[in-house]
Amino acid sequence: MKMDHTGETVDTSVQMLSPMRLRGKVAVITGGARGIGAATARVFAENGAHVVIADILNELGASLAESIGGRYVNCDVSKEEEVESAVKLAVEWKGKHGGTIICSSSSAAIMGGLASHSYTMSKEAILGLARSTACELGVYGIRVNCISPHGVPSEMLVSEYQKFLGNMELKPDEVSSIVGKRGSLLHGRGGRLEDVAQAVLFLASDESGFITGHNLVIDGGYTSACSQMSFIYKD
Ligand SMILES: NC(=O)c1ccc[n+]([C@@H]2O[C@H](COP(=O)([O-])OP(=O)(O)OC[C@H]3O[C@@H](n4cnc5c(N)ncnc54)[C@H](O)[C@@H]3O)[C@@H](O)[C@H]2O)c1
């Protein structure tokens, strides 16, 4: 606690947590071997978390886990017993904790026309599931939130863009540049893996302690407004 300029006492514990915002916490990151999951695993480790990467890309996942002082477990999330094993590994490794769950939805759950019907439906379903589980688990102090990224040049998105545009040489920064020009209110600024990782870090940290059942959209404002009429704001 300290006094601010008006003489009021303010709680500085949140700011004090900032350099190592997940110190001592344990995180299981499904899909953590590459893309958004891998970027999140790195940011979590930098912030003091013990990270378990749970994925099906064994070589990639194991080498990333080693590089960040974490653990790797082969885990196909479509198999419940494998998810249970991943959680068990984390608990046995670093002990039992309360916690927070962060689900990956998408801008495609908010706005039509951004993905296939099946992908869109599954991402909408995740939003619903996060809200209902936030209700169920809130009584145990467990928070459940979603992230909804948009157009982040992971391996998945780059390979999709290569197919859409018929250019198998397309690079991640070119995808980011297309998104920045056509899919962002921040003209020219597309999303990066690290933008998503930082949003997940916030939701995993105690700084978001009163936030649950929330969908944090990381889309450069794209799903909030249409920029085609932005000429009306010019003098
Ligand atoms: N990249 C984007 O622009 C974007 C936008 C919105 C939402 N998302 C969502 O973010 C999440 C991560 O996507 P990404 O773009 O980093 O993709 P990615 O393909 O680069 O990474 C996905 C990871 O999940 C792993 N994985 C796939 N199936 C699995 C399974 N059955 N069990 C365990 N692991 C499995 C893969 O091996 C890989 O490591 C996905 O849910 C995706 O739908 C991505």
pLDDT given at position 177: 96
What separation in Å is there between the alpha carbon of 96 and the centre of ligand 1? Answer: 27
Altogether, the residues listed in the chain come to a count of 235
Provide, rounded to the nearest whole percent, the portion of the chain with pLDDT above 90: 86
Choose the residue to mutate in 28, 34, 36 for probing ligand 1, maximizing ligand atoms within 8 Å of C-beta. Answer: 36
Q: Is the pLDDT of residue 52 over 50?
A: yes
Residue 48: DSSP 8-state? T
- Binding site membership of 151 for ligand 1 (Cβ less than 6 Å): yes
- Reported as a pLDDT band with limits 50, 70 and 90, residue 7 is low
Is any atom of ligand 1 closer than 6 Å to the C-beta of 31? yes
pLDDT tens-digit profile of 91-115? 999 987 889 999 999 999 999 999 9
**In the chain, % of residues over pLDDT 70:** 92
- Does residue 77's CB lie within 6 angstroms of at least one atom of ligand 1? yes
pLDDT of residue 9: 52
Q: Residue 192's pLDDT is what?
A: 97
**65 burial via Cβ count (<10 Å: 0-12, 13-18, 19+):** buried
Residue 96 is which amino acid?
K
pTM: 0.93
Average pLDDT over the chain reads: 93
Angle between helical axes of 172-182 and 155-164 (0-180°, round to 10): 70
C-alpha–C-alpha distance, residues 23 and 198, integer Å: 15
Ligand 1 pocket check for 184: Cβ under 6 Å: no
pLDDT for 157 equals 97
User: DSSP string of 173-213?
Assistant: HHHHHHHHHHS-SSTT----HHHHHHHHHHHHSGGGTT--S
Q: What's the CA-to-centroid distance between 77 and ligand 1, angstroms?
A: 11
pLDDT over 50 at 10, yes or no: no
pLDDT by residue (tens digit) across 83-92? 999 999 999 9
pLDDT at 25 over 50: yes
Which of the four pLDDT bands, split at 50, 70 and 90, describes residue 41?
A: very high
* pLDDT, tens only, 112-137: 999 999 999 999 999 999 999 999 99
Mean pLDDT of 57-78: 98
Exposed (0-12), middle (13-18) or buried (19+): which is 162, by Cβ within 10 Å?
A: middle
pLDDT tens figures, 158-171: 999 999 999 999 99
Closest atom of ligand 1 relative to the 152 alpha carbon: 3
- Integer distance in angstroms from the first to the last C-alpha of the chain? 47
Place of tokens 């933008």: 195
Question: What integer pLDDT is reported at residue 6 of this predicted model?
Answer: 45
What residues are annotated to the active site? 119
Residue 64 confidence (pLDDT) above 50? yes
